[in-house]
Structure 1
Amino acid sequence: MAGVPDKAAGAFRTIGELSRETALPQHILRYWETRFPQLRPLQRAGKRRYYRPEDVALVIRINSLLNHEGYTIRGVQKLLSDERKRVSSASQGPAPAPTGTFGAGSPGGADIGAIRKVRDSLAEALADDSSRA
Protein backbone atom coordinates (compact mmCIF):
# COMPACT_ATOMS: atom_id res chain seq x y z
CA MET A 1 0.00 0.00 0.00
CA ALA A 2 1.22 3.46 -0.78
CA GLY A 3 0.12 5.31 2.34
CA VAL A 4 0.46 4.50 6.01
CA PRO A 5 -2.95 3.73 7.51
CA ASP A 6 -3.89 5.98 10.43
CA LYS A 7 -6.64 3.62 11.60
CA ALA A 8 -6.80 0.16 13.07
CA ALA A 9 -6.80 -2.71 10.61
CA GLY A 10 -10.46 -3.54 11.31
CA ALA A 11 -11.72 0.05 11.05
CA PHE A 12 -13.96 1.20 8.23
CA ARG A 13 -12.33 3.44 5.62
CA THR A 14 -13.77 6.36 3.70
CA ILE A 15 -13.14 6.51 -0.01
CA GLY A 16 -10.51 9.19 0.55
CA GLU A 17 -8.64 7.09 3.11
CA LEU A 18 -8.77 4.02 0.88
CA SER A 19 -7.63 6.08 -2.07
CA ARG A 20 -4.60 7.33 -0.14
CA GLU A 21 -3.74 3.88 1.21
CA THR A 22 -3.95 2.14 -2.17
CA ALA A 23 -2.74 5.04 -4.37
CA LEU A 24 -5.87 4.55 -6.50
CA PRO A 25 -7.90 7.58 -7.56
CA GLN A 26 -11.37 7.85 -6.02
CA HIS A 27 -13.04 7.77 -9.44
CA ILE A 28 -11.44 4.37 -10.10
CA LEU A 29 -12.84 3.00 -6.83
CA ARG A 30 -16.29 4.31 -7.75
CA TYR A 31 -15.97 2.80 -11.24
CA TRP A 32 -15.01 -0.58 -9.80
CA GLU A 33 -18.17 -0.52 -7.70
CA THR A 34 -20.16 -0.43 -10.95
CA ARG A 35 -18.18 -3.33 -12.45
CA PHE A 36 -17.75 -5.68 -9.51
CA PRO A 37 -20.96 -6.59 -7.65
CA GLN A 38 -18.85 -8.05 -4.83
CA LEU A 39 -17.54 -4.55 -4.02
CA ARG A 40 -20.37 -2.89 -2.12
CA PRO A 41 -19.19 -0.49 0.60
CA LEU A 42 -21.71 0.69 3.16
CA GLN A 43 -23.32 4.00 2.24
CA ARG A 44 -24.59 6.28 4.98
CA ALA A 45 -26.26 9.68 4.92
CA GLY A 46 -25.13 11.82 2.04
CA LYS A 47 -24.05 8.67 0.15
CA ARG A 48 -20.73 8.68 1.99
CA ARG A 49 -18.96 5.37 1.43
CA TYR A 50 -17.50 3.27 4.22
CA TYR A 51 -15.29 0.40 3.14
CA ARG A 52 -15.23 -2.60 5.49
CA PRO A 53 -11.99 -4.59 5.92
CA GLU A 54 -13.25 -7.21 3.44
CA ASP A 55 -13.96 -4.41 0.92
CA VAL A 56 -10.42 -3.10 1.39
CA ALA A 57 -9.01 -6.60 0.81
CA LEU A 58 -11.13 -6.94 -2.33
CA VAL A 59 -9.93 -3.57 -3.69
CA ILE A 60 -6.33 -4.60 -3.11
CA ARG A 61 -6.95 -7.92 -4.87
CA ILE A 62 -8.72 -6.31 -7.83
CA ASN A 63 -5.89 -3.79 -8.14
CA SER A 64 -3.32 -6.59 -8.10
CA LEU A 65 -5.17 -8.63 -10.72
CA LEU A 66 -5.76 -5.67 -13.03
CA ASN A 67 -2.55 -3.69 -12.66
CA HIS A 68 0.05 -6.31 -11.82
CA GLU A 69 -1.13 -9.65 -13.18
CA GLY A 70 -2.52 -8.38 -16.49
CA TYR A 71 -6.18 -9.37 -16.11
CA THR A 72 -8.88 -7.41 -17.90
CA ILE A 73 -11.99 -6.11 -16.13
CA ARG A 74 -14.00 -8.94 -17.68
CA GLY A 75 -11.36 -11.48 -16.63
CA VAL A 76 -11.47 -10.32 -13.01
CA GLN A 77 -15.28 -10.34 -13.10
CA LYS A 78 -15.25 -13.96 -14.30
CA LEU A 79 -12.63 -15.00 -11.76
CA LEU A 80 -14.53 -13.45 -8.83
CA SER A 81 -17.85 -14.85 -10.07
CA ASP A 82 -16.42 -18.36 -10.42
CA GLU A 83 -14.93 -18.16 -6.91
CA ARG A 84 -18.25 -17.03 -5.46
CA LYS A 85 -20.04 -19.95 -7.15
CA ARG A 86 -17.43 -22.41 -5.88
CA VAL A 87 -17.69 -21.12 -2.30
CA SER A 88 -21.49 -21.15 -2.29
CA SER A 89 -21.72 -24.65 -3.76
CA ALA A 90 -19.13 -25.95 -1.28
CA SER A 91 -20.96 -24.44 1.68
CA GLN A 92 -24.32 -25.85 0.58
CA GLY A 93 -24.46 -29.43 1.66
CA PRO A 94 -27.36 -31.50 2.84
CA ALA A 95 -28.94 -29.84 5.86
CA PRO A 96 -28.87 -31.94 9.01
CA ALA A 97 -32.24 -33.31 10.05
CA PRO A 98 -33.78 -31.68 13.12
CA THR A 99 -33.39 -33.77 16.25
CA GLY A 100 -34.49 -33.67 19.87
CA THR A 101 -36.99 -31.07 21.03
CA PHE A 102 -36.59 -28.90 17.95
CA GLY A 103 -39.00 -30.34 15.42
CA ALA A 104 -40.04 -29.39 11.93
CA GLY A 105 -43.62 -28.59 13.00
CA SER A 106 -43.06 -24.86 13.50
CA PRO A 107 -41.64 -22.00 11.43
CA GLY A 108 -37.90 -22.31 10.94
CA GLY A 109 -37.97 -25.93 12.08
CA ALA A 110 -37.83 -25.04 15.80
CA ASP A 111 -40.37 -25.62 18.57
CA ILE A 112 -40.97 -22.17 20.07
CA GLY A 113 -42.26 -23.64 23.32
CA ALA A 114 -39.01 -25.57 23.81
CA ILE A 115 -36.96 -22.47 23.07
CA ARG A 116 -38.95 -20.46 25.63
CA LYS A 117 -38.38 -23.16 28.27
CA VAL A 118 -34.64 -23.03 27.65
CA ARG A 119 -34.70 -19.23 27.80
CA ASP A 120 -36.63 -19.26 31.09
CA SER A 121 -34.32 -21.82 32.69
CA LEU A 122 -31.28 -19.76 31.65
CA ALA A 123 -32.85 -16.61 33.09
CA GLU A 124 -33.46 -18.44 36.39
CA ALA A 125 -29.90 -19.72 36.48
CA LEU A 126 -28.54 -16.23 35.87
CA ALA A 127 -30.78 -14.80 38.56
CA ASP A 128 -29.52 -17.43 41.03
CA ASP A 129 -25.87 -16.61 40.17
CA SER A 130 -26.39 -12.87 40.60
CA SER A 131 -28.11 -13.32 43.98
CA ARG A 132 -25.11 -15.33 45.23
CA ALA A 133 -22.61 -12.61 44.28
Structure 2
Amino acid sequence: MSDSRSGKAETAFRTIGELSRELGLPQHRLRYWESRFPQLRPVQRAGQRRYYRPEDVALVRRINDLINVQGYTIRGVQRVLAGNAAPQPAKRRDRGSELRRIRDRLAAALAADDR
Protein backbone atom coordinates (compact mmCIF):
# COMPACT_ATOMS: atom_id res chain seq x y z
CA MET A 1 0.00 0.00 0.00
CA SER A 2 1.41 3.45 -0.86
CA ASP A 3 1.27 6.69 1.03
CA SER A 4 -0.91 9.07 -0.97
CA ARG A 5 1.19 12.08 0.02
CA SER A 6 4.52 10.83 -1.31
CA GLY A 7 3.59 8.04 -3.70
CA LYS A 8 5.96 5.72 -1.81
CA ALA A 9 5.01 2.57 0.02
CA GLU A 10 4.35 3.19 3.71
CA THR A 11 7.23 0.83 4.55
CA ALA A 12 9.71 2.69 2.31
CA PHE A 13 12.51 4.74 3.78
CA ARG A 14 12.26 8.50 3.24
CA THR A 15 15.01 11.05 2.79
CA ILE A 16 15.01 14.18 4.91
CA GLY A 17 13.86 16.16 1.86
CA GLU A 18 10.93 13.85 1.22
CA LEU A 19 9.85 13.91 4.87
CA SER A 20 10.29 17.67 5.02
CA ARG A 21 8.00 18.20 2.01
CA GLU A 22 5.51 15.61 3.22
CA LEU A 23 5.06 17.31 6.61
CA GLY A 24 5.64 20.90 5.52
CA LEU A 25 8.57 21.29 7.91
CA PRO A 26 12.00 22.74 7.13
CA GLN A 27 14.85 20.23 7.05
CA HIS A 28 16.77 22.07 9.74
CA ARG A 29 13.89 21.51 12.17
CA LEU A 30 14.05 17.75 11.58
CA ARG A 31 17.81 17.80 12.21
CA TYR A 32 17.25 19.88 15.37
CA TRP A 33 14.66 17.40 16.63
CA GLU A 34 17.20 14.62 16.11
CA SER A 35 19.48 16.46 18.55
CA ARG A 36 16.69 16.88 21.12
CA PHE A 37 14.96 13.50 20.96
CA PRO A 38 17.26 10.49 21.35
CA GLN A 39 14.42 8.23 20.17
CA LEU A 40 14.68 9.80 16.70
CA ARG A 41 17.65 8.21 14.98
CA PRO A 42 17.31 7.90 11.20
CA VAL A 43 19.74 5.62 9.37
CA GLN A 44 22.72 7.56 8.02
CA ARG A 45 24.49 6.27 4.96
CA ALA A 46 27.45 7.52 2.93
CA GLY A 47 27.79 11.27 2.92
CA GLN A 48 25.68 11.52 6.10
CA ARG A 49 22.50 11.15 4.03
CA ARG A 50 19.55 10.48 6.35
CA TYR A 51 16.95 7.80 5.68
CA TYR A 52 13.89 7.80 7.92
CA ARG A 53 12.35 4.41 8.63
CA PRO A 54 8.55 4.13 8.96
CA GLU A 55 8.87 4.21 12.78
CA ASP A 56 10.98 7.40 12.50
CA VAL A 57 8.31 8.97 10.27
CA ALA A 58 5.61 8.08 12.82
CA LEU A 59 7.72 9.58 15.63
CA VAL A 60 8.32 12.81 13.67
CA ARG A 61 4.58 13.07 13.04
CA ARG A 62 3.89 12.61 16.75
CA ILE A 63 6.50 15.21 17.74
CA ASN A 64 5.10 17.63 15.16
CA ASP A 65 1.57 17.11 16.48
CA LEU A 66 2.61 17.60 20.10
CA ILE A 67 4.60 20.76 19.39
CA ASN A 68 2.75 22.47 16.54
CA VAL A 69 -0.84 21.37 17.17
CA GLN A 70 -1.16 20.69 20.88
CA GLY A 71 1.28 23.39 22.01
CA TYR A 72 3.80 21.33 23.96
CA THR A 73 7.29 22.66 24.54
CA ILE A 74 10.39 20.68 23.55
CA ARG A 75 10.89 19.78 27.22
CA GLY A 76 7.26 18.68 27.51
CA VAL A 77 7.56 16.41 24.47
CA GLN A 78 10.78 14.95 25.87
CA ARG A 79 8.90 14.05 29.05
CA VAL A 80 5.99 12.55 27.12
CA LEU A 81 8.32 10.43 24.97
CA ALA A 82 10.33 9.35 28.02
CA GLY A 83 7.11 7.98 29.49
CA ASN A 84 7.02 10.37 32.43
CA ALA A 85 3.75 11.93 33.50
CA ALA A 86 2.34 13.80 30.55
CA PRO A 87 2.51 17.52 31.28
CA GLN A 88 -0.15 19.89 30.13
CA PRO A 89 0.62 21.66 26.87
CA ALA A 90 2.11 25.13 27.19
CA LYS A 91 -0.55 27.81 27.22
CA ARG A 92 -0.41 29.74 23.98
CA ARG A 93 -1.40 33.34 24.13
CA ASP A 94 -4.25 34.38 21.97
CA ARG A 95 -2.35 37.10 20.13
CA GLY A 96 -5.45 38.23 18.26
CA SER A 97 -7.42 39.08 21.38
CA GLU A 98 -4.36 40.65 22.97
CA LEU A 99 -3.86 42.90 19.92
CA ARG A 100 -7.57 43.79 19.83
CA ARG A 101 -7.41 44.81 23.49
CA ILE A 102 -4.42 47.07 22.78
CA ARG A 103 -6.14 48.53 19.71
CA ASP A 104 -9.28 49.30 21.73
CA ARG A 105 -7.24 51.01 24.45
CA LEU A 106 -5.41 53.12 21.85
CA ALA A 107 -8.70 54.03 20.15
CA ALA A 108 -10.19 55.09 23.49
CA ALA A 109 -7.10 57.18 24.28
CA LEU A 110 -7.27 58.89 20.86
CA ALA A 111 -10.97 59.56 21.27
CA ALA A 112 -10.31 61.12 24.69
CA ASP A 113 -7.63 63.38 23.15
CA ASP A 114 -10.07 64.60 20.47
CA ARG A 115 -12.57 65.86 23.06
C-alpha distance after superposition, 1:80-101 (max 9, x if no partner): 0116xxxxxxxxxxxxxxxxxx
Secondary structure of 1:67's aligned partner? helix
Residues 1-133 of structure 1: pairs in structure 2 closer than 5 A: 4-82=5-83
**Using the alignment, how far apart are the partners of 2:69 and 2:5 within structure 1?**
21
**Using the alignment, how far apart are the partners of 1:33 and 1:6 within structure 2?**
25
Secondary structure of 1:9's aligned partner? coil
Contiguous gaps of at least 5 residues in structure 1: 84-133
Q: By how many angstroms is 1:6 displaced?
A: 2.0
Q: Residue 113 of structure 2 aligns with which residue?
A: none
**Using the alignment, how far apart are the partners of 1:82 and 1:53 within structure 2?**
21
Identity across the alignment (%): 73
Secondary structure of 2:51's aligned partner? strand
**Using the alignment, how far apart are the partners of 2:21 and 2:38 within structure 1?**
23
**Using the alignment, how far apart are the partners of 2:6 and 2:64 within structure 1?**
18
Amino acid at match of 1:20: R
User: What is the TM-score normalised by the length of structure 1?
Assistant: 0.59
Q: Structure 1 residue runs of 4+, over 2 Å off?
A: none
Amino acid at match of 1:16: G
Secondary structure of 2:83's aligned partner? helix
Q: Whose RCO is larger (CA < 8 A, sep 6+)?
A: 2
Contiguous gaps of at least 5 residues in structure 2: 85-115
C-alpha RMSD of matched pairs (Å)? 1.2
